[in-house]
Structure 1
């Protein structure tokens, strides 16, 4: 058999030249009815099974191009209506995929005397009906159904044509399928545990997707159905930020969908929060979503919000729905939302919002640290950190952790000169000692930064060797700030 790209056409003869096409394949591709008819009259029937690009016969080529009159001629001449190209598609599938309803009608009409197999599928079990549905060709769907195509047939993912149309948000295709006989079960589940309405709910926010969801709801689709504790339709829409679909689903009044949790313990609200969809969060809260719900690890939506870029806006949306108990909730061995925000790269700007809402910086947290020693370990914008220190609910800057370290020790150890300056200005004690005897200066000397350290040689003449030994890992800016504050420079022995 010829390989892809090879043209093997027999019997073109002088009639081909007269028609302006060199081969039957070329005439079929061009939709040249006269040329095809002339070649067939001249006895070019051997060319009916010639193979061109993608192993397509003249009929497959004409089908892909939607040339109805050529299709009719070729079928009447005996072309194989069930021939397959290299992708496993037969002529009917190519027409369905491209939406060539007229050519499909010609094939089906000619097929009354020739066996056109409506059950045919490609290597992934996609039938012509699946392909028409996924592409949204309603006219082709109606033709196939009237000819006897099976609307309940499933592909390799156990999806019906309705699944395919819903996934691609083809509202006209969904309408055509829902009006078919038999319709099949609108709540059929595919191999991944998804119904048509669940598939329709994922994806970009557009009117067609919402239209599909409304049609499916009218037809009896269950939006709360989620086998194996998968995502419900509402959770899928919330995760996609598809507010039009969320609105359509909420309009059906299914409270169960708001409270349903997937296998990770996430509700629709949690999905919207983690994806950063502020408008969707507001929609769900207005509908009565529970802001106190927690996932399987005990994490609440407020703490989830803090890990999202742009978390401040999410926190603002959630705070009115958060109770005092939930504001300071910490899962076993975990941290409160406030603590998490103080240490999170995305959440620091939410710290002031949480403090203003009444969050307690002294609430339980994992580990031996204090709120400020934890905050001082990370990189804050200088102005934001100063605003935190100036806040009336901010803890005392000299509160020591279990190991005796203060926020100043942490800031010095992290090598953050701006934070050191801010703490000193707020009254931090530069002479405080950790339980192990380490001073703030010692912590700063061990900060991993190769700044200008020449000044260390004059810090303590009696311990010059030790100072020079530490110099390789000191942060000149931090130490300079400490010296400028009048720090006692004696290094511990």
Structure 2
């Protein structure tokens, strides 16, 4: 296939990615089936529109008769997972939820044999998209905070690692395991301390995080403090809260 033929074949994908609404409308009218065609990156136009935060184009594509809100690209990403990972992607998340997107669908990285894959909440927690997380929990059915990824991590581990105290609190409010360990033996507290997020560590301690759990190398969470100042801060604040370390 020549480069010009390939460009024609995937013109809808390019228009969706670049936010060219009128071009998308024309291309859909000329060839409705093109919305269901994967390009060389294994993506449909809806995946590109979601990743580029093109709200009007996502809305238009979602109105097609053959639209599947849970369709995966070749990496296992659904439009909802992509939108949940994009800054200011709340409007697109709303559209996809209204179209019936499955909030608990798991990303398998294109390999059905992988166990414990991610859900949209893992991406949301990693990106600290608090408003999107609230939307996913408000959905019926609500998203689960009790799904591990292939590293054995719950969304809480990710939220702790990026130091998002509000996300940590939200996840705990929605029944996230607090003291579970990942494949490296890290609890959420280990992650928070290791990354130097003292405030998040204190929030976890106030919620009842266990301080006597050791990781796979035998380290307690407090042993992983990146410097003396972080450790002193956690010790001081824990003492103020009446928490014994």
Q: Does residue 1:221 correspond to 2:138, yes or no? A: no
- TM-score (normalised: structure 1): 0.43
Bigger RCO (CA 8 Å, 6+ sep):
2
Give the secondary-structure state (helix, strand or coil) at the position aligned to 1:118: helix
Q: Quote how far apart the aligned CAs of 1:296 are.
A: 2.4
Please tell me whether Structure 1 or Structure 2 has the larger radius of gyration of its CA atoms. 1
**Deviation readout 1:314-371 (Å, 9 max, x if unpaired):** 3434455334xxxxxxxxxxxxxxxxxxxxxxxxxxxxxxxxxxxxxxxxxxxxxxxx
Contact 2:16 2:24 in 1 (8 A): yes
Displacement of 1:272 in angstroms is: 0.6
**Superposition deviation, residue 201 in structure 1:** 0.7
Given the alignment of the two structures, is residue 143 of structure 1 paired with residue 65 of structure 2, yes or no? no
Contact 2:103 2:136 in 1 (8 A): no
In structure 1, the partner of 2:195 is 275
- Given candidates 178, 184, 203, the residue that maps to 2:97 is 178
- The change in CA–CA distance for 1:318 and 1:89 in structure 2 (over 3 A counts) is farther
- 1:289–1:104 CA distance, 2 compared to 1 (3 A): same
Q: Distance in 1 between matches of 2:154 and 2:183?
A: 11
Aligned residue runs from structure 1 range 422-441, under 5 A: none
Gapped regions of structure 1 (runs ≥ 5) = 3-54, 58-82, 324-493
Q: Which residue pairs with 2:243 in the alignment?
A: 321
Q: Separation in 2 of the partners of 1:314 and 1:116?
A: 58
Rounded to whole Å, the distance in 2 between the matches of 1:265 and 1:318 is 23
Residue-by-residue CA offset, 1:36-83 (whole Å, 9 max, x unaligned): xxxxxxxxxxxxxxxxxxx4x5xxxxxxxxxxxxxxxxxxxxxxxxx5
CA contact (8 A) 1:133 1:141 kept: yes
Q: Is the 8 A contact 2:50 2:79 kept in 1?
A: yes
Matched pairs, number:
232
- 2:42 corresponds in structure 1 to 125
Secondary structure, aligned partner of 1:257: coil
Q: How does 1:70-469 map to 2 (within 5 A)?
A: 83-85=5-7, 90-108=10-28, 110-111=29-30, 114=31, 116-147=33-64, 148-169=66-87, 170-181=89-100, 183-184=101-102, 186-191=104-109, 193-203=117-127, 205=128, 209-219=129-139, 220-228=142-150, 230-252=152-174, 254=175, 256-305=176-225, 307-308=226-227, 310-311=229-230, 312-318=232-238, 320-323=242-245
Deviation of 1:155 after TM superposition, in Å, equals: 1.8
Aligned mates of 1:131, 1:261 — CA distance in 2: 35
Which structure 2 segments of 5+ residues have no match? none
> Partner of 2:35: helix, strand, or coil?
coil
